Structure formats: C-alpha cells, structure tokens
Amino acid sequence: MQPPSAPSYSSGLVWFRRDLRTEDQAALYHALTQCQQVHCAFVFDTDILDVLPRADRRVEFIRETLVELDAALRALSGHDHGGLIAVHHAAAADAVPDLAAALDVQAVFTNHDDEPQAIERDGTVRTRLAAQGRALHTFKDHTVFERSEVMTQAGHPYSVFTPYKNAWLKKVDAFYLSSYPAERHAARLAPRPAGHRRPVPTLAALGFEPAGLAQLKIPTGSQGAHQLLADFVERIDKYEDTRNFPAVKGPSYLSVHLRFGTISPRLLARTAHERARQGSPGAATWLSELIWRDFYFQILYHHPHVVNDSFKPAYDAIAWETGPEADALFAAWCEGRTGYPLVDAAMAQINQTGYMHNRLRMVVASFLVKDLGLDWRRGEAYFALQLNDFDLSANNGGWQWASSSGCDAQPYFRIFNPVSQSEKFDPDGKFIRRYLPQLAGLPNAALHAPWKAKPLELQSAGVQLGGNYPLPIVDHDTARQQTLERYAVVKASA
C-alpha cells in the first residue's frame, strides 16, 4: 500500500455496508488517512429490509455483528461514548446524505457494491452529497480483483472461467493481497456526538423477530469469522478430498462472513495462495473457488442483464413448465417433498439452517431445472430468500451454470442423476438420515431410492411411501429425455 499523505479533509464519514470489520477494511483505512476526524455509520436500508420476512437470519446476523463492530471501533479509538457506530433504520439514499449534513463531514467513504440496485443507490447518494458540497469516495474491498482489473488481451471481460483464472493467478502478487492497516490511524476515529449516542437497535426496534441464529450456533462478527478460518486452516490440505461430501466437515463455512465482510477476502486469498504455493492441493482448490467468486462479480458488473435474463440470450427461448401443475412441483421442491432423498434432505437443510452444501446446491438446481422443467429464476429467487450467504452474483452465476444458460456453464445435456449423486457423495446416508429421520431405518442400499426398496425393508424401517415419505414426483429417465427435447431450441448455441 502507498504511504498515506497528510489528511485532506477535516472530517469524514465511513459508510459500512458489506464490509463489517475494522481489520483490513479499505474505506475505513482511506478515511482515516485522509481525514483528521472520522465518523462511522451503518444503515439498515428499508428499501432492502421491507421486502424480507419478519424473521430473517441475515438481519439477525448483521445486528449481532454490528454490536461487535461497535465494540471493536470503541476499542481502537479509546472512546467510550455510548457506541461509536451510528446505526440508522431508513432508506440509505436519504439517511447517508442527511447524516453527512448533520455531522458536517466533507466526504463519505464506502466500498464498492456492484449489484445494479446498489450502483443506482450510490449514484443517488453521490448526487445528493455533491449538492451539499460533499464528496463520495468508493473503493474495492469485497474481492481481490474487480470490475475491469482482469481482462482479455483485447481488453474485454472474460466469459470463460479457466482463462480468467489463469490471468488472475498471473496478475496476483503481494501488493494485491496486502492488508490496509487501518488500526495504525485509529486515533482519528471521532467520538460520537451527543445527539448520536444510541446503541445498536434491537431486532424488535427494526421490526424483526429472532430467527434462531443462536440455536444454529452460527458464529457472528469478525471473531466468529477468524475462529472458522483457524479451524479450516487445519483441514485445508484435505479440502480437495472432502469438499463434495455433505456429511463430512469439509467446507470452510466462511461464505456468510465473506458475504457481509466480517473477514477480508484478501486475507483468505493470501492464506490459500501461500498454502497452494507450498504444494497443498486442497488450498489450490479453495483458492480456485475464491477466484470463481471474483469471476461472478465481474460478470455481474459487465453484464447486468443476467439479473433478469440468461447470459446466453438464446436460452431465454426455452419453454419452461407453467401452470398449476408446475406450481405444485415447485412447492414440492421447496418443501423437500420430491421423493428423491438427497434432494429432499438438501432442501430440509436450507429451510432449517439457511445453509446448503455446495455439491447439493448443484444437485437441487439441476433437479429443479432439468428434472422438473422449471425456470431457473424460480430456484434462484427461493435461494435468495433462504440462504444466509445470499450474494446476487454467486447465486445468479450458480443457477445459470446449473441451467446451462450462463457463462461457462455446464453443457445442457449434462443432467445430474439425483440417485447416483446420492450414492456417490452420501454413500453411507449420514446426511440423508440427519435431515430425513423418517428414512433412517432403511439400509444404505435402499436409502438412495426408497421406491426400489423391498416391501419388508420399508416395513421394517417404518417407511410408508406416499405416507410419511413421498413417492418420486417425476421419473428421472423420462424427465431427462424431456429436458433434451426442451433444450433443442438452443442446440445451435451450445
């Protein structure tokens, strides 16, 4: 990082968003090095919150994390004035300019958010601040490389992952992976003005109810993120071998922390990169997944049409199933009533915890689109509602990959068989039995396809097909043939 110059502003405001930490936080660092005094704020944006269910794990996660962030800022600054971060509950496009005026700061500092709605909001904030004679400065913080930093030799954004990854790895160095030492300048954190010394609002004050975060034992804040990282580093060398098995402790479980920025993506990439250079195949694989994250962010930035349409326009010609029967199939998928145990267990996992193992995300997405013939957008929207780690770029990219409509997606004729996926990745049925206890008594050989079980096996296990567990709502082989016919309209584009 370049050494900071003398402060150019007497006062500034850091607008925290998807970057809820003090360590290696770009906007906080730049504000502290460019301002003599720095105020901090977070806005529970009503434009986002008002469309959420009243019990939402993500809102609870953010609220608990803000309590820790407030304490961390107080500890850094040495101030103890009823909380250092000003937390507001309003439309951010209004609240940020109003707060900047109330605090009489000269500039607002925040980090990029490349979702189309966020870009529009930030444009509004910039215009309103400019009308007040104040500046808005934004920075890269949520990725290692963003926007147009990794481009083809012709100067175009990549649409295929492998060459993007190769270019990413060729460009990355110690500079791009280094940290912003905000703590060195913490003395410039301003004490909270008397009129702004309110604690972080309760969930009830925000109009929300507890969503069971404590019962799920989901660690919050930077402390929780670093605990997970420390645990994962002990397992990272085996990641390549364990990552596909949902009953095994293979993943890092850091996705929700990456989503809300309670840990630096530079720290994670630096950790993986260093370990990979030492010869760890697990670290190399995990680094590749972090690069996928950057890849999907730059796709969203350069191709915002993917929010509503297929990356490949030809795929929007596909005729998806519609009507009451399609709605019933969708409801069965959402509720884990498809009759395919691995699919149903995965849906039980997301419904109960807000988390779904990455292998299972691919399996259930393929099932919705290519077994049930339903529009990928329906599944994408359901995941957006349920996932603790919901991120528009990754969720959209994943669903378009599964439906073959996205950039560098799986071929349209690749259709996951939910039974063989179950036999391969949950061979002992540990995951299925955890989330579908009504099937727990079945032997392994019958667990993955109960409709093929012998009557005595079903009776002994207390399983009543069509009773306490549904019969399959679709025949996979028949559905596969229908999918190939459905996708015939895009064969020329495949």
Maximum C-alpha span of the chain: 80
What's the chain's length in residues?
Answer: 494
Block residue for tokens 């645990």: 231
**How far is residue 37's CA from residue 13's CA, in Å, rounded to a whole number?**
9
**How far is residue 484's CA from residue 451's CA, in Å, rounded to a whole number?**
25
**How far is residue 473's CA from residue 471's CA, in Å, rounded to a whole number?**
6
**Residue 156: CB partners within 8 Å, gap ≥ 6?**
none
Q: Which is the catalytic residue, given 183, 240, 351, 358?
A: 358
Q: Which is the catalytic residue, given 146, 183, 209, 320?
A: 320
Query: Taking the alpha carbons of 81, 84, 89, 94 in that order, is the dihedral positive or negative?
Result: positive
CA 413 to chain CA mean position, Å: 28
CA distances from 66 to 12, 184, 235, 265, 341 (A): 20, 22, 29, 19, 39
Q: Is 333 a catalytic residue?
A: no
Q: Which is the catalytic residue, given 376, 388, 395, 396?
A: 376
Q: Which is the catalytic residue, given 292, 333, 380, 396?
A: 292
Q: Is 166 a catalytic residue?
A: no
User: Residue 488: what residue type?
Assistant: A
H or E element that contains 137:
strand 135-139
Closest to 248 measured CA to CA, from 410, 360, 116: 360
Measure CA of the first residue to CA of the last residue in the chain; give whole Å.
44
Closest to 150 measured CA to CA, from 135, 139, 136, 166: 166
Q: Is 292 a catalytic residue?
A: yes
Query: Within the chain, how many helices (H) and strands (E) appear?
Result: 23, 5
Q: Which is the catalytic residue, given 168, 286, 399, 401?
A: 399
Q: Which is the catalytic residue, given 289, 321, 423, 457?
A: 289
Q: Is 244 a catalytic residue?
A: no
Q: Is 399 a catalytic residue?
A: yes
Written as six digits, the tokens of 144 are 């290692």
- Give catalytic residue positions: 289, 292, 320, 358, 376, 399
